[in-house]
Amino acid sequence: MLARLKNAFKPKKLWQKMKNTQDFWTSISGFFVLNLFFVWLKTYINYHINFSLGVQGPIQDFLLFLNPIPTAIILLGIALYFRGKVAYILAWVMNLIQTIWLFANILYYREFSDFLSFGIMGSGSSTGNNLGKSIAAIIRPTDFLVYVDLIVMAVVLLFKFWPIDKQAIQKRYAILTTILGIVLMLVDFGVASVDRSGLLTRSFDNNYIVKYLGLNEYAAFNAWQTNNQTKSRKEASAADLQKVQDFLKQNSVPANISYTGTEKGKNVFVIHLESFQQFLIDYKVDGREVTPNLNAFYHDQNTLSFDNFYNQVGQGKTSDAEMMQENSLYGLSTGSAMTKYGSSNTFEATPAILGQQGYTSAAFHGDVPTFWNRNNTYKSFGYNYFFSKNFYKDSDKPSYNVGYGMKDKIFLKDTAQYIEQLPQPFYAKLITVTNHYPYELDKEDTDFPATKTGDTTVDGYVQTAHYLDQAFGELMAYLKQAGLYDNSVFVLYGDHYGISENHKPAIAKLLGKTSVSDYDLAQFQKVPFMIHATGLQGGINDTYGGEIDMMPTLMNLLGVSTEGMTMFGHDLLSTQNPQIVAFRDGDWTTPTYTKYKNQYFDSKTGQKLSIDNNPALKATAQRVQSYVDESLSNSDKVITGDLLRFDKNRWNFHQIDKKSYDYTKANTLKALKASQSSSPTSILALRNGQSTVSDYKTDAPELK
């Protein structure tokens, strides 16, 4: 034994071993292992630092540790089939591709609490440059650390500090490496399926896919989903629509007849409160109300205010909210339905339905018409008019804009010139944008104090919300002065959260808590929903509901029959409302129980519950989950299969012709002017051409 040790430590032997080790690391095999290690390391670290995956238990810990490896082996292993410089460059490029994907998701997840999808990336042109502005605002210097290994290796290779091994490894080893990656992927999926059955068939939550299978596998799964959505339309039939309608009929509830038609024939103003959360109602900073005008509106005796109303958006965010508000159809599990299907699909939307009841319809948005593909989608929805940014004077002035478009005070004031020309009754949707991330305002636009959470992303939120509230107050004052207030129904809703759950410490401070639980985060998804009309029997309504319920509730108030409509929501005023709120990821809440991030809570107390020893919870969860899964799945089928094109026998609705709508400025203004004589019911026509615009008062400093 001693002789062997002496022999092993002879200088010549030791040098040979060191040389063999050096030869390995300078070979393509060593370069492959080094890249594999760095891809795994930075992915695994960022899983814990930048993503909230809800890992629970040793199995999920193991899968999170394992899942970056299989696809990294497969992708980096491509280099092993080549030799010389090409092999090294390929290994480096495969590392780069995975790193770019990781980096992009770090930024996207930080603001949207979700992972990038091909649908969202494909809709980049529809959102203009604004998404890029938001992402640019949240980049941290530490995010670029994921590129450090690539930079070092590039320098080492470029300046030949790392000798290139021109020898190729044997093809069988390259093949075995690929097989190893595939085997590890199957092991990962097998273990994941045991812990989460039906992972790829029942899960609507991208966090589950990443947690169990990995970020790269999520990309592949999302590509498969996107491809399936494309195929769905080709394979769809009228029988598919019938199955959906059978499901809806089985789960329908009668409308509340005491409210049916009480607002029939009135104008409708839908005011889209951008990124506005329920907690802002009655919220104070330094003793001052953030939203005094909206607070008064919320508590008005003629306002129906729902205090258990939730946003239900997915990746499409605002566009998902519009899809639900206009159609009572959910947004998609991936991407934006308005962007992907708004141009091509058949819809039975509120503007078209009311248009066939004698209404004029118009949408107003202080940004480019292509944002979320609105210029095409609104034609499919049946809007007579769409007034986008180019309809507003001096709309490109830098001082008139912030974040995602025109400042609300300027936008709403300039909208008055078009509102007064709309033939009555009309349906008008006004989309505000100032209260949108990154929550910035010019100093002269607000004297309201910011919060002091220490989170710069969060602290400006109350300032832009206060600005929105002031703009809303100015609009209401104008409508009263113009004579439109008493003959109108006002529908106000927040489209989605403004502060994502990635800001937990700041949320805790806003809510006056030391920390926030997952139950608190579920409640943080609440947004306002108010319906106001002069003479309406109002009050605070505790019914659990969400954005999917807005359309059927409004239709009943207007006295419009919903018979035969493909709507996944229910009248919130119905005494038989099921009060099941489905979230886009498959979670849900009811007055009794809440499921959030695969955990169960008592909806009244917030107490976390175990489903294993609670028969009542288990029975309810099975029933509710079945309903939620079927609702989301059937709604997806309606959109991806364009099933409403088969709905041609409705007695109370006929499909619209998209080609009859023209949103070009010249033709829109010409048509609007012509309507003053052909349909002389507008405020402008009734006042014999005397404009009401001078009645609109605003304190916007840019207009002084």
Question: Helix, strand, coil: what percent of the chain each, to 5?
Answer: 55, 10, 35
Exposure on the CB side of residue 195, measured as CA atoms within 13 A:
22
10 Å CB burial of residue 195 (0-12, 13-18, 19+) is: middle
| Cβ-contact 490, 269 below 8 angstroms | yes
Which has the closest alpha carbon to 427: 256, 271, 260?
A: 271
Which has the closest alpha carbon to 123: 364, 376, 316?
A: 316
Helices (H), 559-691: 615-640, 665-678, 683-686
| DSSP annotation of 284 | E
698 labelled catalytic:
no
Q: Residues near 227 by Cβ (< 8 Å), separated by ≥ 6?
A: none
DSSP 118-135: HHHHHTGGGGTTHHHHHH
Q: Which two tokens stand for residue 335?
A: 């991407």
Q: Which two tokens stand for residue 610?
A: 């175990």
Q: Which two tokens stand for residue 614?
A: 């609670």
| Cβ-contact 556, 260 below 8 angstroms | yes
Alpha carbon distance, N-terminus to C-terminus of the chain: 95
Q: Which residues pair with 309 in a beta bridge?
A: 545
- Kindly name the residue from 127, 291, 318, 464 that is annotated as catalytic: 318
Report which residue type is found at 69. Answer: I
Rounded Cα gap, residues 576 and 172, in angstroms: 67
Annotated catalytic residues are 318
